[in-house]
Chain A
Amino acid sequence: MNALPFLIIVPLFGAFSMPLIKLISEKVRDIWAVIISAVTLGVAADVFYTIWKTNKIIVYTLGDTTPLGKGVGFPIRIVWEVDLLGALIAVTIAFVSLLAIIYSLEYMRHDTGLDKYYTLILILELGMLGIVITGDIFNFYVFLEIMSIASYALVAFRNDTWEGIEAGIKYMFVGSLASSFILLGIALLYGQYGTLTMAYLSQYITREPTFVSKVALAFILGGLLFKSGAVPVHMWLADAHPAAPSSISAMLSGLVIKAGGVYAIARILFSIYSISLNIRTLGWIIIFFACLTLIVGNAMAVIQTDMKRLFAFSSVGQIGYILLGIGIGLAAYGTDIGQIALAGAIYHTVNHAIMKALLFLVAGAVLHEVGTKNLNELSGLARRMPLTSFAFLVGAAAIIGMPPLNGFASKWLLYESSALYNPFLAAVAVVGTAFCTAAYIRVLFTFFGKESEKVKAAKDPGKAMIIPMIILILAIIIMGLLPWQINESIMIPTAKMLEESGKYVLAVLGG
């Protein structure tokens, strides 16, 4: 039996049963959340392994055995279509979500209404998983909204301060605007072509690329750039990500802007539009936004005094690298350079999810123990919280791209491909990294500096908060020790599969 539907069923079951489980006891509720997310990780790993092993796209039809209608040659049902990219991101999502939930066992212990918290966090996970497995563009929109609404509520979860509520409302306004752009784009596509199945849409657009389809692409791309926090429209991210509880910040920065932003951009550009447009122009549009994003995001990170805000701006910068990879992958479509860039972008997506999750968990531990995230007051933390500081050191070194850690390989691929494609882009990317380094060195000096009054009583947090951090450190180091093996065996096939939009179409419509 196919494991794919359980990727949705399990978190949905967990979320719906949470109000009933809570009636038993609070302890059972916490364990239940961990079990559900662990099972989800198992399912995601199984789906990924199946696709990786067979190198075939999985197509799953909801409600019937075939997506095609009776007696007609086109798909009429909702399909789920997972290729390697979707499965890889799904594993990342399930992995980081599990760690965020374990972390919240201790981090959120003093809050009330936690059954709603766990329900929302599982719904958030479900929305992201849905986005990466769906093959139907309206189904994609539905999952995008599930994810977005859950994240609005989670950003404002700590409603005892106005910070969270303000950020939540701001996030909601911007997010709703972005969602309506996306919906408008989807509506235009539906009006023009009369289908919502991505594969069939792709075939249709290739056959007759009309003006309306380009307008629709502009709307969808605009909305998705909003959601991924690319630069002209990144203002919500710097408020929403620091204001959320840290376990949620880890998911928002590590996963939500990837699944609902970058992944969706890659899927729509490569699988639906790729061969029907002037791909070079499209690539350069993405590259333009990418350069802007990676300079502004990293530069803004340097001047922050709020630790979580610094990490949030750094996320904006890292999104720039991923967009750069996707842009070069489009502009140099079909060449080796494009493939390397795309592999680098995918690799960096996974790496950044792990690194940024670790950094936000560190920020949460500091906030939990010291009670402030203002860098001016955190001087000399390293002596009191050695494990946490070590975790920060690893995360920061990885995000800068230090060789023995995982960030090195993905950044190297991006530098290499951009230098081969256009040296100017490589220069921009390196300048971005210089800013990034400056920002993290600042935090590092704060941590290892002279001890201030505030941190005298601080100590490392308890087991439930330390263990997720240690797992993430191990993941960073292990991935860092095998960079090229991972690249050869996972990232390059994933990039290849994403580039072959013909196979994506044929998997649904049949040979």
Chain B
Amino acid sequence: MENDMGLIVKTMARATIPLIGIFGAYVISHGHLTPGGGFQGGATVAGAGILFLVVFGLNEAKKRYDKNLYSALEGLGGLAFLGAAMLGLSIAFFYNILWRDKIAFAGQPGTLLSAGYLPIMNLAVGLKVFTGLVSAMMAIALFRRWKK
């Protein structure tokens, strides 16, 4: 099926997809320091996946997309978020015990390894948003019912 794009677009996409991915990863990992966070970064990374789908076509994307894996990773992202929120349950739900009791991610405020559970939650949300959006996009591409 001819649903991919021309050579110029493909070459450009090959160059930009990794960069978009890296930028998204940066936004996720600096979520507690700079504007953006798990959702925005995850959406950016998913943008790389969607670019791949648009440029190289559905058939090429299907080879690299495993429904069960993505669905499991999405669940894992949610569970990690919930787990991070439950760490401080002995005091309160969403209590930031990692930061307040200086257990982990308890560096100087403003550095990467600070803010307690926030980096963990951002990673979890980023994973969930990335896998979820890519799955949604694949579903839209796969299940279109109008003209074949």
Residues of chain A having any CB pair with chain B under 8 Å: 1, 5, 8-9, 12-13, 15-20, 22-23, 60-65, 115
Chain A residue with Cβ nearest B67: A19
Chain B residue with Cβ nearest A18: B75
Stretch at the interface among B14-22, B53-61, B92-100, B103-111: B92-100
Given contacts A13-B82, A20-B76, 15 further A-B contacts (CB under 8 A): A5-B92, A5-B93, A8-B93, A9-B93, A15-B78, A17-B75, A17-B79, A19-B74, A20-B72, A20-B79, A22-B71, A62-B93, A63-B94, A65-B91, A115-B71
| Contact flag A5-B76 (CB < 8 Å), given A12-B82, A63-B96 | no
Most B CB contacts (10 A, CB to CB) among A9, A16, A63, A115 go to A16
Chain B residue with Cβ nearest A12: B82
| Contact flag A13-B92 (CB < 8 Å), given A19-B72, A19-B74 | no
Chain A residues, Cβ within 8 Å of B79: 13, 16-17, 20
Instruction: State the CA gap A61–B96 with chains docked (Å).
Output: 13
Chain B residues, Cβ within 8 Å of A62: 92-94
Minimum distance in angstroms from B86 CB to a CB of chain A: 7
Instruction: State the CA gap A13–B78 with chains docked (Å).
Output: 8
Instruction: State the CA gap A450–B141 with chains docked (Å).
Output: 50
Chain A residues, Cβ within 8 Å of B11: none
Chain A residues, Cβ within 8 Å of B86: 9
| Interface assignment of B89: CB less than 8 Å from any CB of chain A | yes
Instruction: State the CA gap A498–B88 with chains docked (Å).
Output: 32
Chain B residues, Cβ within 8 Å of A1: 89-90
Total interface residues in chain B, CB < 8 Å? 19
Residues of chain B having any CB pair with chain A under 8 Å: 68, 71-72, 74-76, 78-79, 82, 86, 88-96
B78 touches A61 (CB 8 A): no
Chain A residue with Cβ nearest B68: A23
Chain B residues, Cβ within 8 Å of A19: 71-72, 74-75
Chain A residues, Cβ within 8 Å of B94: 62-63
B75 touches A63 (CB 8 A): no
Instruction: State the CA gap A16–B71 with chains docked (Å).
Output: 10
Instruction: State the CA gap A1–B92 with chains docked (Å).
Output: 10
| Contact flag A9-B82 (CB < 8 Å), given A62-B94, A65-B91 | yes
Minimum distance in angstroms from B98 CB to a CB of chain A: 13
Minimum distance in angstroms from A272 CB to a CB of chain B: 24
B72 touches A23 (CB 8 A): yes
Instruction: State the CA gap A62–B94 with chains docked (Å).
Output: 6
Chain A residues, Cβ within 8 Å of B88: 63
Chain B residues, Cβ within 8 Å of A13: 79, 82
Instruction: State the CA gap A16–B75 with chains docked (Å).
Output: 5
Instruction: State the CA gap A19–B93 with chains docked (Å).
Output: 24
Minimum distance in angstroms from B25 CB to a CB of chain A: 23
Chain A residues, Cβ within 8 Å of B75: 16-20
B72 touches A5 (CB 8 A): no
Instruction: State the CA gap A423–B126 with chains docked (Å).
Output: 60
Instruction: State the CA gap A58–B53 with chains docked (Å).
Output: 50
Chain B residues, Cβ within 8 Å of A5: 89, 92-93
Minimum distance in angstroms from B138 CB to a CB of chain A: 14
Chain B residue with Cβ nearest A8: B93
